[in-house]
Amino acid sequence: MSEPREDAVVQRRWMTILQKTGTPVISALLAIAVGSIIIWASGYDPLAAFAALFKGSFGSPKAVGDTLLKSTPLILTGLAVAYGFRAGLFNIGAEGQLFMGGLAATALGLALGGASWWVSVPLMLLAAMLAGAAWAFIPALLKARIGAHEVITTMMFTYIGRYFVGYLVNGPMKEPGNIPQTPALDPAAQLPRIATLFSEAAREAVPILNLGRAHMGILVALIAAVVIWLILKYTTLGFENRAVGFNRWASETAGISVQWTTVKALCISGVLAGLAGATEVMGVHHRLFDQFSSGFGFTGIAVALLAKNHPLGVIPAALLFGALSAGATTMQFEAKVPQDIIQIIQALVIFFVAAEEIVLWFVRRRQKEAISHAG
């Protein structure tokens, strides 16, 4: 009896999902298309370039491992930026909080020396979270109390944080020798590689387990994504965050403290960015030096926007950018295309997601077709 009606409901639900995922997917495709045109116009073969890129990001278990390796910090910085956006705040300085997280994890890890892993790993992650939050706290306070624009202040804190780390690895924390870096972390203070969790025999039987340099940080990142999703969906904290992002005046009227929510939002954002610093130090480099992040904080902006600030959407978005950056080296080596093209594609993704009207035009056309077919 009510079948046509249910059909309509189901169809509308599909429409919403299509609209939500459609824009990001089309944005990403458009960005890759424009990137291909740039590659072609520069005198290279786009097909060869993307073939090499694919080989470097998914062509072998080791390549998949590299993609996971690059995606790990991007999930966390993507979450950091997304959580801020959901409160109407633009944490452009996740990079700085990431630096401080990496610093805190290293400092504590070195101090703990040879403590067992179940003591050092959680404590180091915690230290990184606190350091990230602390680095976001002053911009947060300035934003909440006097309205100082967080884009300028968090950006400035990024520079300050970088110089601070630069000073420490050239000075007090420098290991003996000529290289400006800290001593290596004790193996118990590192995040183990995924491949090492399996026995030789298991890895031989299931080759996909040979994930190369991918490390357990991916687990930390995935847990963080689920936790942030739960917070946003089911807790008062998350509700207030969303409410303030949606309409700060209405929230204030409804009795939500906009100032306090602002501080919490930027600090939680800092916690996530700080974690990204910790996983990079503990899982990849096993020490601190001043170039340990290749702009993960900034790529996190693209990740968050592509995910439309949805914590679970951040995971596929980060995988896309992780794959792009994992494959970039192979692409530059085999197809000779400068790997900066990846940064151009990232920028284009942000641009197309922001300029939703171009993309929505495509989606609406698809919808019209779908409706006319259904009708």
Partner 1 sequence: MLDSIITPDLFAAAIRIATPLALAAIGGTICERSGVVNIALEGIMLTGAFFGTAVVLATGEPWLGVIAAVLAGVSISAVHAFASINLRSDQTVSGTAINLLALGVTGFLMKLWYGHPGTTDQIKTLGSVFTFDAPGGGVLAEVWRWVNAILFTHSPIVYLAIIIAIVAQWAVFKTRWGLRLRALGEHPRAVDTVGVNVARGRWVAVLMSGALAGLAGANLTIEQVGSFTENMTNGRGFIALAANIFGRWTPVGSYLASLLFGFADALQIKLQILRGVVNVPPQVFQALPYVLTVIVVAGVVGRAVAPAASGVPYRKD
Please report, as ranges, the residues that interact with partner 1 according to CB under 8 A.
38, 42, 90, 92, 138-139, 142, 146-149, 151-153, 155-157, 159-160, 163-164, 166-167, 170-171, 298, 301-302, 305, 338, 340-348, 350-351, 353-358
Nearer to partner 1, 15 or 142 (CB): 142
Nearer to partner 1, 33 or 354 (CB): 354
* Cβ contact 298:273 at 8 Å: no
User: Phi-psi region for residue 180, left (φ > 0), alpha (ψ -120 to 50) or beta?
Assistant: beta
CB 79 → partner 1: shortest distance, Å?
Answer: 17
CB 353 → partner 1: shortest distance, Å?
Answer: 8
**What 3-state class would DSSP assign to 193?**
strand
DSSP assignment string, 223-266: HHHHHHHHHHHHSHHHHHHHHHHH-HHHHHHTT--HHHHHHHHH
The pair phi, psi for residue 303, each rounded to 5°, is -60, -50
Tokens of 334: 């085999």
Residue type, 366: R
CB 149 → partner 1: shortest distance, Å?
Answer: 7
CB 146 → partner 1: shortest distance, Å?
Answer: 4
Nearer to partner 1, 130 or 347 (CB): 347
Nearer to partner 1, 281 or 353 (CB): 353
CB 147 → partner 1: shortest distance, Å?
Answer: 6
Tokens of 52: 């090499």
Residue 337 CB-density burial (10 A; 0-12 exposed, 13-18 middle, 19+ buried): buried
Determine the Cα–Cα distance for residues 248 and 319; give it in Å rounded to an integer: 33
Nearer to partner 1, 336 or 365 (CB): 336
